[in-house]
Amino acid sequence: MTTETRTHTTSTTDTRTPSAGPSAAPPNGRTPTAASTHDGPVPTGQDYPPRFALIGGGQVEAALRGRAAEVLDLVEETYRVHGGGDTVNPPSYFLRFPDRPLSRIIALPASLGGRFGVDGLKWVSSFPGNIEYGLPRASALLLLNDHDTGYPFACLEGSIISATRTAASAALGADRLSRGRPRPRRVGFVGAGLIARYIHTYLAATGWEFDEVGIYDPDPDSAHGLAGSLTRSSQTPVVVHDDIESVIRGSDLVVFATVAARPHVTDESWFDHHPVVLHVSLRDLTPEILLGAVNVVDDVDHCLKADTSPHLVEQLTGSRDFIAGTLDDVMAGRAEIPPDRTVVFSPFGLGVLDLAVGLFVYEAVARAGELNVVDGFFHDLARHG
């Protein structure tokens, strides 16, 4: 394995359309062929052998550290590209196991256009039993494929990227959905795992200030563990609650980040104060609660499946009329959020967000000259021997 400084630069135009001929020389001084307008791994002989890099979790974390505002802007841009139709984001595939019904592995293929021009796949597992062994519930890999040749050019540790894009999406939703009402000052977390920690980090790093942070988790050790982490990183008072009702009633921004497989919050009166709800874990709220709220999703078709809470509403009513719009609709002014009603943001999680953040990480590592390229990964490249 070698380390090199080769970069995969992001085009300033829509790179989904292949170039008709050579363009300006890329940063490494080579001239791209008609197959590519960027310095990607294009297999055109010895000048351009397709190369494959591995980027580990430490590199991913370093590339993202201190760049929350940039990532938030990146996620917002990606939502706009997706809303404009310049993506391919097919349904996720769920690999389930009869002998392990709570566990699953999900494949999220996607293609991101706009100025990005990258394809790829996230392969993410969710094994709730990992918590018993002191391991995070989720683990993931992210593959990035070259836009013009289809060759994979990088494999990245994906759980940090996945948590980052989830947190950035939640922070973006909190900002956009709270405009027009007093900005929330009390945030409550239902679920005290890694995703909750990342969401708090992104809220704090993008300008949110709270008078109090509330935490509830059915595992007291998890709740107190997150409370200790937040106390060390912030001066904001942190309160661990003994029940879900008190943390919901005591918060005007509520974050669900659980591993719930079916709705467990059933009392509509808990939301009488009309909070902004980030329903990140998707399966916590009963249909009746959603029917009494303004509902925003990231993508309608994606969110209304796999027995998510919004999907249960569709099954109950036979309609999608309860959806006010997507987050892109809100950002573009096509959907308005009334200030006097509970608003619930249910983001299913789009593969294009992983591609955007993954490419961001790849380019940061490449600029630092720290790409770990696997020598000869693609071995037999001669079509006729």
Domains of the chain: residue spans and CATH: 2-162+352-373 (3.30.1780.10), 181-351 (3.40.50.720)
Question: How far, in Å, CA of 16 to CA of 382, rounded?
Answer: 26
Least confident of 8-22, 113-127, 226-240, 297-311: 8-22
* 159-178 vs 194-205: helix crossing angle, rounded to 10: 50
The whole-chain average pLDDT of the chain stands at 88
Question: How far, in Å, CA of 39 to CA of 30, rounded?
Answer: 8
Contact 92, 330 (CB under 8 A): no
- Which of 139, 125, 199 minimizes the C-alpha distance to 165? 199
Confidence grade of residue 322 (pLDDT, cut at 50, 70, 90): very high
Question: How far, in Å, CA of 83 to CA of 16, rounded?
Answer: 16
- Which of 282, 290, 227 minimizes the C-alpha distance to 259? 282
- State yes or no: pLDDT of 41 exceeds 60: no
**Residue 320 forms beta bridges with which residues?**
none
pLDDT (tens digit per residue) in 83-123: 999 999 999 899 999 999 989 999 999 999 999 999 999 99
Confidence grade of residue 7 (pLDDT, cut at 50, 70, 90): very low
pLDDT (tens digit per residue) in 121-136: 999 999 989 988 888 8
pLDDT (tens digit per residue) in 248-263: 999 999 999 998 999 9
